[in-house]
Structure 1
Amino acid sequence: MSQTSDQMELREEDIASHIAMAQSLIEGFDHAPRIGKTAEAPAAERSSGIGTRRRFRSTTPGLVTKRRVPTGAVQLIARVEGADGDDALMSPLQATVLHALRRAIAISLAISENVAEHSGLGDLKRANLEGSLPAARKTEFSELLAADALVTLYVFGNATAYLLSQHMSEINVEVGEVDEVLTDNGQTALHGALWELDHDIATHATDDARLVGTVCAFAEALMEKVALRATTAPRLEAFAAAAWHVEADDFTVRGFTPASAAKSTKLTMTFKKPNEVVGNHIAKYQSMKLAKMLMAYDFDRRLNPFADLGGFIFTFMGDGAPGTGKTTLIQMMAGLISEYCDNAGFPFRYQNLSTDNIDSYQGKSGQNAKAFINNIIDPSVIGFGTIDDIDQLAGKRGDRQSSAGQLEITAVLMESFAGANTVVRGNCTFGMFSNYPENVDDALRQRAGARFLVDGPQTRDDYVDILYLLMGKNHDIPLGDHTVFEAQAIKKAVAASFAGHAKPHEAGLLEVYNAVQAEIGALDTINKLGTYLKAIQEADPRFTGRAIKNITDAVKVRAMDFELPDEWMEQPDLFLFKDYDTKKAMIEDMRQPITVEMVVQEINRYADSEFRYADKSDEVAIENMVRDFERNEEAKKRYLGSEHG
């Protein structure tokens, strides 16, 4: 990726000037812990069920010693080399870990030095050494030193996690919270962090895979702790407002934002072609459009022209009865994005948040959900995240049957999809799918910007097409008077589907629509459309301002009611590889004007879904209450009968 205008290039010679210091730190130093537990603390206290700490081993092959390592001594080279039992030779992966740690330390020192020059810390350090530091600036000096420590620690953790990310296996290691976070100055901070890393390796790294897992888990935990401290620490503007790029590693530091290697997900799912999705015309059409929209993302600008112009779908909900094609829709969309990304050489990441992510440990379910979100929104990849059966995964607030883990997931999804810190870059989209959307928390459901009704095959032609598709080729049954897949011609089918929403489908909404039209006539002005929206809100109080935003977003999507040409996906030079402004201009040329018909159709489409959910939800609640009353009556009869008996 090319360097963006707000980035500074961190020169290789600047990093190289700190390699000697980094080497000395991984070879050995003494550190007296202040916050973290000392070496005498039993390992079991930190992680139940893990073996005791590993001993140090001589780095000289054949030489056996029984030396004691003093408390506080940190020798990372020896510690890492001892992570595979008694093998006298260092493994290639151990060497990779040490190289990554040394380079991460050097990068962190180089950036902290750069920040110090911009923040004025460099001048104050020199004045302090000369004994000429004014007393009035001692508080500033102390605050800048603490900021320097936080910058050094964060960049060290960030670079370590980034450099080792491609060596991670499926093994996850829990290292717990990082304790020894010191803010005296950058070097003391590194001493504390490396001391704790040394102890975590001793506790958890029983082989090479767990060694990498331990170091990466420590780096992530360190970044999280430091970023939390940074929210209230002063003097960090010089770091937060700038970005540095390390060309050799394609590693970018952007304040307290984790960097991650742009790795694709290896998908093992069976992809479906669009013609294998029968029915579901609007859902299929919007999924196909969205797959191409994602490809317009500009990695240099870190923004998608569709998100800039309005009309990008960040979150959507697909609902329908079991067996209507939700999984097939996911397989189709993931397949299209994967194919486009392979062709363009873009990294693609797909992940599904499933019920496996609900954990009995307090806070762990929320952590799993946050990790899923962060994995997909990573601006260095094209991302597609799905949440299948969201009614089972995310709890409904106020529902006594929702577990603490389910409620944690609900809170994370709500904050991530439409929270104060949500940034829609246009590089990813999230799809929520459910057979029972009425069981999804109202506020979470309304965070789905688009609604895809997945109602499966509807017409006679749809049923003939799906039978033909699923029968395969191993038969001689004649087709008869039918043109296969003609009914699935997407443009024609979608136009008919949209036109069908000129009037509401749900009985409750149709009643509101007819009453408003009888009073004010055709809905052909903003004033009349607003009157209709208010009437819907009076009929259903859950129809709030967020619903209006979702409707207007859907209308903007309709203004982008075109598919990017297939040739642009097949030949990336025609569009995908062009600069941001050129791509934006090409899209603007294809944009269509918004019409009254579009607005009415989208109001009806969205409101229909809300009325459908509300009706089902109310009906389910009524049925449950009726069952409770019946059980109470039956219990009374039995109780009275047993008394008389």
Structure 2
Amino acid sequence: MSQSTGQMELREDDIRSHYPAALSLLQGFDHAPRIGATTAVAEEKSSGIGTRRAFRSTTPGLVTQRTTRSEGVRLVERINGLEAGDGLTSPVQAAVLQGLRRGIAVALAVADQYEERTGLAELKRANLQGGLPAAKSVEFSELLTAEALIALQVFASYLSFTLASHVSEDTVEIGSVDEVLTENAPLALQGVLWELDQDIARFATSESRLVATTLAYAESLMEKVAARASTAAQLDPFTTASWRIEAEGFTINGFTPARSAKGTPLTMQFKKPHEVVGNHIAKYQAMKLAKMLMAYDFDRRLNPFAELGGFIFTFMGDGKPGTGKTTLIQMMAGLVNDYCQVAGYGFRYQNFGIDNIDSYQGKSGQNAKAFINTILDPSVIGFGTIDDIDQIAGKRGDRQSSAGQQEVTAVFMEAFAGANTVVRGNCTFGMFSNYPENVDDALRQRAGARFLVDGPQTREDYIDILSLLLGKRHDIPLGDHDLFSAQEIKRAVARSFEGHNRPHEDGLKSVFDRIVGLYGELDTIAKLGSYLKAIQEADERFTGRAIKNITDAVKVRAMDFELPDEWMENPELFLWKDYDTKKAMIEDLRQPITTAMVLQEINRYADSEFRYADKSDEAAIDAMVRDLGRSEEAKRRYLEGKV
């Protein structure tokens, strides 16, 4: 794939010229901590909990008279001193050391680029010669601060990028990053290397925890630097430029962390479409969405479907237990995985489960944010699922929801439809639940599409699923039945959509019949709008967001075509085309929007909301009845003197 225009190459010679300085820092230097406090290497109080002292200087970064002595920082010695099993430097230790050396070198090379673009190099020379004009002192100080922040960002981003392939199941919580000094880039790097050395001594009790500690530090450092950069001056020359290192595909785009484009290996058992019995609309939309993702253009970092309309960024799959939600996930993940292998794209799948809810304050929100960022990474195709979301994300105001569940709800709401949400079209998020009525209303309405996973419905469906699950190791005759013919997707989907010409839920049926009685056939925008208003009067939760979700679903229907299979099998036909060509090819397949489409999508969406509301209300009523029953029994026992 061609590289994006305007992206400059960071030359290998420029990086390697800083190797000696980087190696010298790793071999040893003395540093008197300004902000961070030295903590003796002691036994951890609790697994994964940081042990930093609570005391902080009230004048961060200010040079004052202190009695703090300089400390020797020798990262090479520290890392090589870890138990590697045979006394030699292990591949993991070498990878961390090489990542540190190259990360420092890359950071200094980018700092050089910044100096050239801003004139900071000339100001440094003038300052060394004692000839810096007084009128330039403020600008000089601002440029030095900006350069320090840039060096720290690039260093941390490179570490996170290059060590991603060494991630294990170990996690480390290091606490906040303190020693962020911004007087100049070399001092800033010394400060973070001193603090990283402290953390490695404290937490890196094994090779896997060495990697986990280094990555945790890099992530925490990027977060701290980004916060500082939000109020710093003189950063435009860095944030408006972009660099790339061809050797490893590492890109620098302002203060956005770079992520490895490598996908995560999948161990799930994939399912073929014919193995998903019933669930015709859900299956059809999942198959379409899998191909939609593949239209993403890595150079433009945009999907034509996201621009033209009809891309599904978030969806909700709900149904009774055992109706096939897991099978649907396995089918869609398998399709995207296969397509990405053909195209040579990185694919990243991740599920956010109940084990990501942590008892420590703020950790659940951090886990949710990390999950979101992993899937959003614009350098890969991403598919994120949240299974049993009713157990994971708590309802706001629900006293039974834990603080961790409330944190997760807040993160998901902001990520799926917040002020800073950008839909590029490289990823999608699926929320699944047996009890969607227990999901916070605002979060549930952030699901742009609804997949009703209702399982097998017809006699033919049940024959197909029985035959499928029995397998082939039997001699039972099939009988008078055309196996899997009922799962022929086009015919089944058309039949399923026609079933939504009228609502299914009793509450919505009465609204529909009343509006049709008043206006006749709903064949104009005015009549359809009147129907929507009547629905809102019946259920106040039916807001403008619901209308947006319905119109998005209609646009999906306008894209009611599957990209041809041969486009997925031969990437030269479509996947490797430039953005404008792909967009034109998709536009040629687009169909006109009809009133039937709009009415069916209104009924589909409103049916789901009425179904959720009815179940939620019944659950609340049942709970109140139980509470009243307990209260009456308590009164009876009290009056009878049995307590």
TM-score w.r.t. length of structure 1? 0.94
In 1: Cα distance, 2:26 partner to 2:632 partner: 75
Given that 1:311 and 1:556 are in contact with CA atoms closer than 8 Å, whether structure 2 keeps it comes out as yes
Alignment of 1:137-536 (within 5 A): 137-536=136-535
Matched residue, 2:57: none
TM-fit CA distance, 1:538:
1.0
In structure 2, do the counterparts of structure 1 residues 201 and 138 end up closer, same or farther at CA, with 3 Å as the change threshold?
same
1:30 counterpart = 2:30: yes
1:325-361 alpha-carbon deviations (Å, 9 max, x no partner): 1111111111111111122221111111111011110
1:192-228 alpha-carbon deviations (Å, 9 max, x no partner): 0111111122222233322222222211111111112
1:127-156 alpha-carbon deviations (Å, 9 max, x no partner): 323333232332222122111111110101
**Helix, strand or coil at the partner of 1:84:** coil
In structure 2, do the counterparts of structure 1 residues 86 and 428 end up closer, same or farther at CA, with 3 Å as the change threshold?
closer
**Helix, strand or coil at the partner of 1:248:** coil
In structure 2, do the counterparts of structure 1 residues 49 and 372 end up closer, same or farther at CA, with 3 Å as the change threshold?
closer
Matched residue, 2:19: 19
**Helix, strand or coil at the partner of 2:36:** coil
In structure 2, do the counterparts of structure 1 residues 20 and 468 end up closer, same or farther at CA, with 3 Å as the change threshold?
same
TM-fit CA distance, 1:125:
2.1
TM-fit CA distance, 1:71:
4.4
TM-fit CA distance, 1:115:
1.6
In 1: Cα distance, 2:115 partner to 2:152 partner: 14
1:111 counterpart = 2:110: yes
Greater mean alpha carbon deviation, residues 551-560 or residues 631-640: 631-640
Q: In structure 1, give the amino acid aligned to 2:631.
A: N
Give the unaligned 5+ runs of structure 2: 52-68
TM-fit CA distance, 1:470:
1.7
In structure 2, do the counterparts of structure 1 residues 117 and 331 end up closer, same or farther at CA, with 3 Å as the change threshold?
same
**Helix, strand or coil at the partner of 1:385:** strand
**Helix, strand or coil at the partner of 2:593:** coil
**Helix, strand or coil at the partner of 1:172:** coil
In 1: Cα distance, 2:352 partner to 2:155 partner: 30
**Helix, strand or coil at the partner of 1:102:** helix
In 2: Cα distance, 1:540 partner to 1:149 partner: 55
Q: In structure 2, give the amino acid aligned to 1:96.
A: A
Q: In structure 1, give the amino acid aligned to 2:427.
A: C
1:487-518 alpha-carbon deviations (Å, 9 max, x no partner): 11110010111111111111111111111122
1:372-420 alpha-carbon deviations (Å, 9 max, x no partner): 1111111111111111110011101111111111111111111111111
In 2: Cα distance, 1:337 partner to 1:571 partner: 15
TM-fit CA distance, 1:47:
7.1
1:149-199 alpha-carbon deviations (Å, 9 max, x no partner): 111101011111212221222222222211100011111101101111111
Give the unaligned 5+ runs of structure 1: 53-69
Matched residue, 1:580: 579
Given that 1:3 and 1:245 are in contact with CA atoms closer than 8 Å, whether structure 2 keeps it comes out as no
Alignment of 1:94-109 (within 5 A): 94-109=93-108
Q: Percent identity?
A: 72
Q: In structure 1, give the amino acid aligned to 2:338.
A: E
In 1: Cα distance, 2:574 partner to 2:184 partner: 49
Q: In structure 1, give the amino acid aligned to 2:11.
A: R
Q: In structure 1, give the amino acid aligned to 2:15.
A: I
Given that 2:154 and 2:252 are in contact with CA atoms closer than 8 Å, whether structure 1 keeps it comes out as yes
TM-fit CA distance, 1:293:
0.7
In 1: Cα distance, 2:465 partner to 2:103 partner: 56
Matched residue, 1:633: 632
Q: In structure 1, give the amino acid aligned to 2:437.
A: E
Matched residue, 1:6: 6
Given that 1:43 and 1:50 are in contact with CA atoms closer than 8 Å, whether structure 2 keeps it comes out as no
TM-fit CA distance, 1:50:
9.6
Alignment of 1:49-64 (within 5 A): none
Q: In structure 2, give the amino acid aligned to 1:210.
A: R
**Helix, strand or coil at the partner of 1:249:** coil
Q: In structure 1, give the amino acid aligned to 2:285.
A: Q
In 2: Cα distance, 1:162 partner to 1:292 partner: 28
**Helix, strand or coil at the partner of 2:641:** helix
Q: In structure 2, give the amino acid aligned to 1:13.
A: D
Q: In structure 2, give the amino acid aligned to 1:73.
A: G
In 1: Cα distance, 2:352 partner to 2:84 partner: 37
Alignment of 1:611-626 (within 5 A): 611-626=610-625
**Helix, strand or coil at the partner of 1:175:** coil
TM-fit CA distance, 1:123:
3.2
Alignment of 1:114-133 (within 5 A): 114-133=113-132
Matched residue, 1:63: none
Q: In structure 1, give the amino acid aligned to 2:483.
A: V
In 2: Cα distance, 1:526 partner to 1:122 partner: 64
**Helix, strand or coil at the partner of 1:213:** helix
Matched residue, 1:66: none
In structure 2, do the counterparts of structure 1 residues 49 and 279 end up closer, same or farther at CA, with 3 Å as the change threshold?
closer
Matched residue, 1:64: none
Given that 1:44 and 1:50 are in contact with CA atoms closer than 8 Å, whether structure 2 keeps it comes out as no
In 1: Cα distance, 2:538 partner to 2:143 partner: 58
Matched residue, 2:553: 554
Given that 2:41 and 2:201 are in contact with CA atoms closer than 8 Å, whether structure 1 keeps it comes out as no
Given that 2:84 and 2:90 are in contact with CA atoms closer than 8 Å, whether structure 1 keeps it comes out as no
In 2: Cα distance, 1:167 partner to 1:73 partner: 28
1:405-438 alpha-carbon deviations (Å, 9 max, x no partner): 1111111111111111111111111110001000
Q: In structure 1, give the amino acid aligned to 2:5.
A: S
**Helix, strand or coil at the partner of 1:312:** coil
**Helix, strand or coil at the partner of 2:82:** helix
In 1: Cα distance, 2:87 partner to 2:278 partner: 64
In structure 2, do the counterparts of structure 1 residues 27 and 390 end up closer, same or farther at CA, with 3 Å as the change threshold?
same
In 1: Cα distance, 2:286 partner to 2:418 partner: 24
In 2: Cα distance, 1:485 partner to 1:209 partner: 48
Greater mean alpha carbon deviation, residues 421-430 or residues 9-18: 9-18
Greater mean alpha carbon deviation, residues 496-505 or residues 203-212: 203-212
In structure 2, do the counterparts of structure 1 residues 229 and 464 end up closer, same or farther at CA, with 3 Å as the change threshold?
same
TM-score w.r.t. length of structure 2? 0.94
Matched length:
627
* RMSD of Structure 2 on Structure 1 (CA): 2.0
Greater mean alpha carbon deviation, residues 126-135 or residues 522-531: 126-135
Given that 1:50 and 1:204 are in contact with CA atoms closer than 8 Å, whether structure 2 keeps it comes out as no
